[in-house]
Amino acid sequence: MARENGRSRRRHERIKPGKFLSCPLGELMDVSVSGLRLSCTGKPPVEPKQRLSLTINSQYQKISLEGQVVRVVRKGFRRYEISMRFVDMTPQKEQVVENLARHGYYERQARGPRPAQPAGAAGDAGASAGQARSAGASESSASVDTTIEDPYWTLGVPRDATDEAIKQAYRDMARKYHPDVCKDANSNPMFNRIGEAYALLKDPDKRRTYDQTVRG
């Protein structure tokens, strides 16, 4: 029971993101793992109950989420407050949203302590590692665009997901957001992002190159 209460409090905790976080729809007021509030001047760009894809940007990273407008409230002359809830969230996505709201970035990979090396071996090990990376880069002909949205995030899978898990996630999301099935105006961009993510992760060489380039 205590764990459930703690999780409920976390889901409703509103984090004031500061100036390092932005959203194209308006000025962010606060963010939680279940939704956000923002304000805008002029005619609101959304309507209550509307479902859409929205992007949250920081100076380091950005994420795209599916959201639904809960309410649009007028707060003054040409000033409106918009409340939205996130849709199709997973524990991994909740953690990413919380990290981005608090710190302006989310952790790509947990880095454990490096094993101790014998005295004098550090230089040799560093040189060997550099040579290995150079050799790996020359052997791999895979070229990937590392500026695209994180493909693991897009498909909602962990970074150690198996090929079968990635394929299943792609099938589920492609079926859900296919333009012939989903009539939402934002289904086409989402469907395209899903395809781009799967095209990268299903190719072993491209996936390895992406992981090495982005995660270091």
Q: Under 8 Å CB-to-CB from 178, ≥6 apart: which residues? A: 187, 191
CATH of the domain at 75: 2.40.10.220
Q: What pLDDT is stored for residue 193 in this prediction? A: 84
Domain identity same for 97 and 6: yes
Number of Cβ within a 10 Å radius of residue 40 = 19
In the numeric block, the tokens 């105006």 are attached to: 185
Q: What pLDDT is stored for residue 111 in this prediction? A: 36
Report the distance separating Cα 189 and Cα 186, nearest Å.
6
Number of Cβ within a 10 Å radius of residue 126 = 11
CATH of the domain at 173: 1.10.287.110
Q: What pLDDT is stored for residue 19 in this prediction? A: 74
Q: What pLDDT is stored for residue 60 in this prediction? A: 67
For 13-39, letters b (16+ CB in 10 Å) and e give eebebeeebbbebbebeebbbbbbbbb
Q: What burial class does residue 178 get, using C-beta atoms within 10 Å of its C-beta: 0-12 exposed, 13-18 middle, 19+ buried?
A: middle
Q: What pLDDT is stored for residue 167 in this prediction? A: 93
Q: What pLDDT is stored for residue 120 in this prediction? A: 47
Residue that finishes a domain, picked among 103, 124, 154: 103
> How far from 33 is each of 11, 12, 110, 162, 172, CA to CA, in Å?
5, 7, 21, 26, 23
Per-residue confidence of the chain (216 residues) as pLDDT tens digits? Answer: 545 555 555 556 889 887 778 898 999 999 999 999 999 999 999 999 999 888 888 776 778 888 999 999 999 898 999 999 999 888 878 888 888 888 777 654 433 333 444 444 444 444 444 444 444 443 434 455 555 678 887 888 888 889 999 999 899 888 888 888 877 666 677 788 889 889 999 999 999 888 887 655
Domain identity same for 15 and 96: yes
Q: What pLDDT is stored for residue 213 in this prediction? A: 77
Q: What burial class does residue 56 get, using C-beta atoms within 10 Å of its C-beta: 0-12 exposed, 13-18 middle, 19+ buried?
A: buried
Q: What pLDDT is stored for residue 158 in this prediction? A: 82
- Total number of domains constituting the chain: 2
Domain identity same for 7 and 65: yes
Provide the domain limits for residue 39.
Answer: 2-103
> How far from 93 is each of 21, 32, 155, CA to CA, in Å?
17, 12, 11
